[in-house]
Structure 1
Amino acid sequence: MTDLLIGVLLSASLFALLWPFLFYPLILRALPTLPEAPVAITPPSASLLFCAYNEAHAMPEKLANIAMLKARHSGLECLAFDDGSSDGTGDLIAAQGDLVTLIRGPGRSGKAHGMKQLAARARGDVLVFTDANVLLDGDAIDNLLARYADPDVGGVLGSLHYIGADESATASVGSLYWRIEERLKDEESRTGNVLGADGSIFSIRRNLYPDFPDSVLDDLTVSMAVVFAGKRLIKARDVIARERLVTGRKDEYRRKVRIAARAWHTHVHLRPQLRQMRAIDRFKYASRKIVRWFGGIFILTGAVAAGTLAMRISPMLYMVGALAVALTIWAGVRAKSGPFAALVDIMIAYAATLQGVVKAMTGRTVTTWNPAKSR
């Protein structure tokens, strides 16, 4: 391999790593704004849906949050699916009487299955999806439903604010990543469509809810149905949800592997419809999702290219560089905070995502989940 090819490989790897976080946002900012066109309508009715598994510790605060929301919106329908919890989560929900309509699953069947059960029973014009450990601000429902005054809007995402960013390097990196993600969604929304939602807080018109297998990532599948239907999927900054960050590396690693595996499986399931999207939406989807999923490969190719180039320049340079990398990783693994720990957590995140994608490519997927103990 010539020095030129090595340099090209190294440059291409760095470019691909930086694309979702630097070049893609710059391109989005250069695109024109696509304004909304609201009309005078009566606000639609809404159903709030969430699934839970062994979330007894989060239920008192969650149920109090729901009671506050229903006090402000007497017509708000709330439904919950208990996915075979063994810690009394379902009993805590049932004890609240008619505050929440509870559906108990027969055992572990997964969030996608549970959400389909809830959506089939919901009566609201708009389905609002959230997680069992997520709390909504008091004006979140009002602000969310107001965006449906534009008939072209088929789905609305909220803004997730994480709590506990200073509790560990893992939490700090997760918080930074999510702030970047939120800004990207803001820019995508301003220019047309956001390309996919996460499960913390998003909504769609009930008549757009799709059919899908239990093995897919339901929040991505359901939110993308809005784009496939030719409606706008937008983000509302004033619809605020709050959630505690995962602080343990093992918990975060397992979570990212699970999410990545299901995301790739979902990508394969949606591929025929993805190909039919407008060019701008295909560009957004590839930039924010596909390029990130393979970030681990870009790190590996960049490391190999850098090491090869260093060896060709000087074996001593290669040895010094390798030792510096090893010491940095060693320090980061031992540290609980600081730049070295943050660097290790970033590498772990890329490794977990790549593992999940490879897992899905080999035919394996994950349908159930466990709440993180370090949240």
Structure 2
Amino acid sequence: MSEEVVFYLRVAFWGLFFLLALCYVIFPVTLPFVSELFKRRRRDIIENFDLPTVSLLISAFNEEGVIERKIQNILEIDYPKEKLEVLIGDDGSADRTAEIIARYADKGITLVKAPKNAGKAAMLNRLQKIAKGEILVFCDANTMFFPNVVRKLVAPFEDRKIGCVCGHLILSDKSGSMLGQGESSYWDLESEIKKFEGILDRLIGGNGALYAIRRNLYTELPVKKSVMDDFFITTKILQKGYFCTFVASAIGTEQTSKESSGEFRRKVRIGRANFNYLWSYLPLLNPFRPLLAYLFFSHKILRWFSPHLIILLFILNALLLPFGRVYQVSFGFLVLAFLVCVTKAVPSAYYFMSMNLALLKGFFLSFRREKSGGWAREARSDE
């Protein structure tokens, strides 16, 4: 192997190493300092800001086990009833979901029933067209709100430039599965990242379980392929020049998937949906908006492509074994890390490996034809 080839292999190796370090170490560790240096000061405040009208939108499919508890939770929300509209879409459920929702018509709960199962994105598009509120609040059927959530979510809209507000979802695990526990721990870290991105008012992607937007900023969701509705909608708001923020005190709770296999399948679907529309998110890398580009690249792009980077790093490291002790040591570390993951000796390491495998599978599935619409519901640890 020529010296020139070895030189380029070394450059590629250390470049990949830096990108992975940026994603998993440098970015999260330095984000608190970045948020303090560049935090946004809100100036475009609406005088005499009054509580806006709100439409709460829920797309449900086969949720008979949880929908009544969710409705009772909604009825306990501390917000003026005359300013709160509740629209629950039943997307062709095969169980008693629609029947249960219909019982609460006299309590201000509106059932929007689809003739057949078309998918969450299609139902949200339909609900948005019906909604009358100035602010749209999105949540899932299995997400339980604290009573003050809506008040907390609408407060930042006092600033005209705020287009999206994300609440704080707390995940708990009753399944005891390794992936369920890992997801709960991962979400705690993700919430910390969201908190600091919220200080910057540049939150990269909301959470479908608990977020709000201005109705006039809604972008119709594509339905030909699966899409992460929360990420698609919130990134389009950022692309329009508005800001997205995070409110840690707007709290909702949710359970993880009941089985490890369910958590893995969910991550595959998320990965596939994100790769399906990756091209539409690339404007966030606009160099003329450097802070937003840095956050999107470090938080999302590098994480989505982590499995690709890790595989390439392993291959390059193997090729460089004869050219220095440092490469022999790093290769040994990579092999040891792989064994720790595979043997499940460290639960968090096993979770990390499983989620990267799910991302990789989602990446390859994104190149295949996909039936539009439809749901793939996973049992949750509280069922």
TM-score (norm 1): 0.87
Distance 1:366 1:204, change over 3 A: same
Distance 1:361 1:330, change over 3 A: closer
Cα separation, 1, equivalents of 2:159 and 2:8: 52
2:86 maps to 78
Q: 1:342-370, CA deviations, whole angstroms, 9 ceiling, x for partnerless residues?
A: 32221110011122122224554764322
Judge conservation of contact 1:217–1:266 (CA < 8 Å) in 2.
no
Distance 1:323 1:25, change over 3 A: closer
1:223 maps to 234
Cα separation, 1, equivalents of 2:338 and 2:353: 13
Distance 1:228 1:319, change over 3 A: closer
Judge conservation of contact 1:162–1:175 (CA < 8 Å) in 2.
yes
Q: 1:121-164, CA deviations, whole angstroms, 9 ceiling, x for partnerless residues?
A: 11111000011111111111111111111122111111111112
Q: 1:296-321, CA deviations, whole angstroms, 9 ceiling, x for partnerless residues?
A: 1112122223444557779x999988
Equivalent of residue 358 in structure 1, options 359, 364, 372: 364
Cα separation, 2, equivalents of 1:275 and 1:362: 29
Equivalent of residue 252 in structure 1, options 255, 260, 263: 263
Gap regions ≥5 residues in structure 1:
333-337
Q: CA RMSD in A?
A: 2.9
Is 1:370 aligned with 2:382?
no
Judge conservation of contact 1:296–1:350 (CA < 8 Å) in 2.
yes
Letter in 1 for 2:249: D
1:233 maps to 244
2:25 maps to 22
Cα separation, 2, equivalents of 1:190 and 1:165: 32
Is 1:279 aligned with 2:290?
yes
Judge conservation of contact 1:310–1:317 (CA < 8 Å) in 2.
no
Letter in 2 for 1:22: V
Equivalent of residue 171 in structure 1, options 164, 174, 180: 180
Is 1:205 aligned with 2:214?
yes
1:315-326 map, 5 Å: none
Give the secondary-structure state (helix, strand or coil) at the position aligned to 1:234.
Answer: strand
Distance 1:77 1:321, change over 3 A: closer
Give the secondary-structure state (helix, strand or coil) at the position aligned to 2:81.
Answer: coil
Q: 1:162-207, CA deviations, whole angstroms, 9 ceiling, x for partnerless residues?
A: 1127823212221222122212222222123112212011111111
Deviation of 1:253 (Å): 1.5
2:201 maps to 192
Give the secondary-structure state (helix, strand or coil) at the position aligned to 1:225.
Answer: helix
Cα separation, 1, equivalents of 2:311 and 2:368: 20
Equivalent of residue 74 in structure 2, options 66, 71, 74: 66
Mean Cα deviation higher: 149-158 or 245-254: 245-254
Deviation of 1:26 (Å): 4.2
Distance 1:291 1:364, change over 3 A: farther
Judge conservation of contact 1:131–1:200 (CA < 8 Å) in 2.
yes
Mean Cα deviation higher: 210-219 or 45-54: 210-219
Letter in 2 for 1:20: C
Judge conservation of contact 2:168–2:247 (CA < 8 Å) in 1.
yes
Deviation of 1:373 (Å): 1.8
Equivalent of residue 348 in structure 1, options 327, 346, 354: 354
Distance 1:302 1:48, change over 3 A: same
Distance 1:365 1:261, change over 3 A: farther
Judge conservation of contact 1:311–1:318 (CA < 8 Å) in 2.
no
1:101 maps to 110
Judge conservation of contact 1:249–1:345 (CA < 8 Å) in 2.
no
Judge conservation of contact 2:206–2:230 (CA < 8 Å) in 1.
yes
**In the comparison of the two structures, how many residue pairs are matched?**
367
Distance 1:363 1:278, change over 3 A: farther
Distance 1:366 1:21, change over 3 A: farther
2:152 maps to 143
Cα separation, 1, equivalents of 2:8 and 2:90: 55
Letter in 2 for 1:294: F
Gap regions ≥5 residues in structure 2:
none
Letter in 2 for 1:15: F
